[in-house]
Every structure is written in C-alpha cells, then in structure tokens.
Amino acid sequence: MKKYSICTLFEKDYHLGLAVFINSLVVNGFSGNIWAGYKGQLPPWLAQLKPGKETQSYILTENISLHFIELHTEKHLTNYKPDFMLDILNIYDPHCEGLFYFDPDIVVKNDWQVFVDWIKWGPLLCEDINSPLDKNHPLRKLWVDCYKKYNLTLQSNKDVYVNGGFVGVKRNDADFLVHWKNIQDIMSEEIGGLKDWGLKDRTYLFSMTDQDALNISIMRDEEVSILGKNAMDIIPGGYIMSHAIGAFKPWRNNYISNAFKGISPSITDKLFWQYANQFLKPYSTLELVYKKSTLNIAALISRVIKR
C-alpha cells in the first residue's frame, strides 16, 4: 500500500483548529504521518498523547503518528508552504509516496481514500472564493510581464483562481513545489520580503502573497487537477472538506453576537464542533457544551435575522 503523509503550519490559537482537523482525519480513515510546523508554543492538549520515539513526536493511533517541527523562518507561515512541503519530502519523510498540505482551519468530511484516488493526475488543488480571475485580466498580464524579467514564461490561459489552503502532490510531481517556491522567492525580491500577507487590495500586483504565488505557478502550463468551490464548502454542495475562510474561525466565533448582525453559523462551524473532542480533546466537557449551545441558539436567531 502506498504511503501518503500530511503537513500543516500553525501558531497561536490555531492549535485548536489543528486538533479538530486531526480528529476529522482519524474519523475518516487516514493512516500515516502528520507533520506540523509551528512557531511559538506546542499545543497544551499534547498531554493526552503518548510520546513517540523521536523528539516532538506523538502516537495518535496504531496507524497515525504526529510530528512537530519548530520553525525559525522570518516568513509569515502562510508564505512558507512550498518550503515546508519540500523539507518534508526531502528531509523528514523521504519514503512517503506523496504529501498533502492542509491549512489547520480545514475539516475533512469524506473518506481519506478519495484524496489518494484524486491525486493521480498531477498536483491537486481547490478553487477559491475569489475565482474566477479571467485569463485576460490585467493582473494575469502583469504577472506574465513581471516574471518575464526573471526568464520565466507564464501562460495567461486559465480562468480559475485556486485557494492556498490545500495542495496535494505525488512525490514524482514535487517539481511543482520547486516552481512554487521559486515564484515566491522572486515575489519576495519584488516586494521586499514575505513577512506579511494580505497586502493592500486586489489592484496590487501581489495582494494575497501565498495564493497569488500558487496561481502564478499553475500559469506555467502545469498539469494540475482542480476541485470546485463546493469541495471546500465555499458554495453549497460540499463533499470532501470544509474550510473556515475569513476572520471568524470556529474557535473564536461569537455566534450569538454575529447572528444578531445577520451572520449565521456556517457549515464549517457546525462540522468543527461535530468533530471537536472526538479523539483529541482540546476542550473541556463544559466548554464544548457551551460552544454547541451558542451555535444552536445562533442558528435559531439566524432564521429570523438575515443580512
């Protein structure tokens, strides 16, 4: 059986998202290594786990190991994805057949085998909420001109704009990660570093640094597979994972206050609390009851108050 691994990046309270993400993997049949790069402190819920043989490694189940790697990069973690994925493939997990990156605010909602089956035809990506970005959009033409200075030929031939929160590659497609990292290194030179993300508005050449770099990478005429917006629950009809896009992360969300503002709980919110405490338990029983209660009250309020 082929062995696939997963990696993610987190800091601060995103360890809560990481715990629930891991729970969703366990429930949906993942087996293999999970690699978590981090800045700051390790999660407090690690006390629930049995340490593994290696430093900062833990045994989740008979078939799943969790490994933490402390990072000292100056880059914002969201801009460190291709670097981290290449390190996993080349240094930390040289025998895995492929690697999937997930943001820690994603919940997996379908059998893990689906991901394995769908990675066969090149790097696997997912459409973003801001897609499409027309192939004739001035930004794409500006990207072509910018990278031409560095002897990189891009094709303005795609309309889809992909999300930076999920990338899957087979080992023999790892060159895609090299291209992505190179695109980001050039971007860093152009804008004076990658310490930040979400720069200015969409008229700026590199507004969303990590996502723009990923989208520029697939303009090299790469053979990629792209899932639609519903794959992340960005639009209704989701079937494979759910992504907490935006500022209101489930573990931070004041559901009742937002409901009175016309912001109803999302599918991702409901799934997050469904998977919370199923295996790892980042919340006390009382905290979990409170959070689920406020979610249910907010759902009732949202039937009356809408934007």
User: Averaged over 102-106, what is the pLDDT?
Assistant: 98
The pLDDT tens digits of the residues spanning 12-69 come to 999 999 999 999 999 999 999 999 999 999 999 999 999 998 889 999 999 999 999 9
Which pTM value belongs to this model? 0.96
Mean pLDDT of 108-131: 95
> Domain 4-232 in CATH: superfamily?
Spore Coat Polysaccharide Biosynthesis Protein SpsA; Chain A (3.90.550.10)
* CA proximity to 46, closest of 72, 82, 83, 15: 15
Q: What is the pLDDT of residue 214?
A: 97
**Looking at beta carbons, which pairs linking 94-98 to residues 24 or more positions away fall under 8 Å?**
95/3, 96/3, 96/4, 96/5, 96/32, 96/33, 96/171, 97/2, 97/3, 97/4, 97/170, 97/171, 98/2, 98/4, 98/5, 98/168, 98/169, 98/170, 98/171, 98/173
pLDDT of the residue at 247? 82
Q: Per-residue pLDDT for 1 more than 70?
A: no
Residue 294's SS3 state is helix
Kindly list the distances between the CA atom of residue 147 and the CA atoms of 89, 135, 144, 153, 184, in Å, as whole numbers in the listed order: 27, 16, 6, 7, 11
Q: Give whole-number Cα distances, 19 to 10, 42, 65, 155, in Å.
A: 11, 12, 13, 40
The rounded mean pLDDT for the chain is: 94
- Which whole number is the average pLDDT over 80-89? 98
Per-residue confidence (pLDDT) for residue 2, from 0 to 100: 67
pLDDT tens-digit map of 150-187: 999 998 888 999 999 999 999 999 999 999 999 999 99
Q: What percent of the chain has pLDDT over 70?
A: 99
Give the residue extent of every domain in the chain: 4-232, 246-302
